[in-house]
Structure 1
Amino acid sequence: MSTEHLLLIVEDDAAFARTLGRSFERRQYKVLHATHRDDVEAVLQQHTPTHAVVDLKLEGNTSGLSCVQLLHQHNPDMLIVVLTGFASINTAVEAIKLGACQYLAKPSNTDDIEAAFGHIAGASDVELTNRSTSIKTLEWERIHEVLAETDFNISEAARRLGMHRRTLARKLEKQRVK
């Protein structure tokens, strides 16, 4: 792989971003880092990344989906992978609609992300299961759908879901995928 690969990591966890960046540098990527949308805009004024890894939930409950949209508008050929510890079908669909090529749940490593960059086209041979969706899974997906609609504002999401804010916060703590 040549040095023509310029990777932008949009991640507010500095330790994770540093580790991921070093790992990609060993694979001959030039790595840039941003922690929020304003940083992404500043990077795009100077550079045109070929690849991006975007965390779905950024500092201050900001959605990484706005960064995905901005990156895709800047360069429609950019390969964008969304990483999240708060995976849901709704946010996965929105990420793909906005220009991401893949959506991965944390924990994901460099091998997973690089494989996702290479897996752009859909595959019709994915194994289908006969298992029905559980009530817990449906609840979890609905919670994340509302969280995405409210830009991860827990108080507003709880109001829309008809539950107490602390109840929602406890559910999110129990289900955290990191």
Structure 2
Amino acid sequence: MRALNLDFQPRRRSGPLGWSLLAGGVVLTLSCVLFQQHLSDETAQQQGHLQTTQRVLTGDTGGKVSLTPAQIREQAQNLAEMRKVSQQLRRPWENLFAMLEAMPRENIALLTLTPDARKGQVRISAEAKDLDAMLDFHRNLEASDELSDVSLLSHEIVANVPEHPVQFNLSATWEIGDANP
């Protein structure tokens, strides 16, 4: 009797297409893993920067880093500047500008408007056609709802101009309920 040779599943030989698909899959998997690792590192680095920035802004050193007195003074100055800017931004500028625009100014030219939010004051530099126009402007500012305690700081009659205009500086208190420190 002859030996029985049963071959239910013949051996399949791998061709170049199979090997190339396997290699492509491995390369793609490794690329994805490396890219994910890079993103994780980048995220961790950004979190570290965010925490450092938060600590600097809040003044929390965490007990790990000791600052020199010069650095502490610099941080205090920076914080004071940020508070000053914040106070300036919280002021209702539209009300002040609307009041100044609505005011009769036929004989007045506004030159500068310098606010000091910390003191709650505003300084106005202007030029008037004559002394009466300057005094009328001063009275109108004093009568406004936005400003109080209007004071004439200085004035000068410009002699070298034929019309002899008056340049002057006023200071006024600009009181706003929730914007004061």
Q: Sort the TM-score into its range (normalised by shorter chain).
A: under 0.3
Higher strand share: 2
TM-score, normalization by structure 2: 0.23
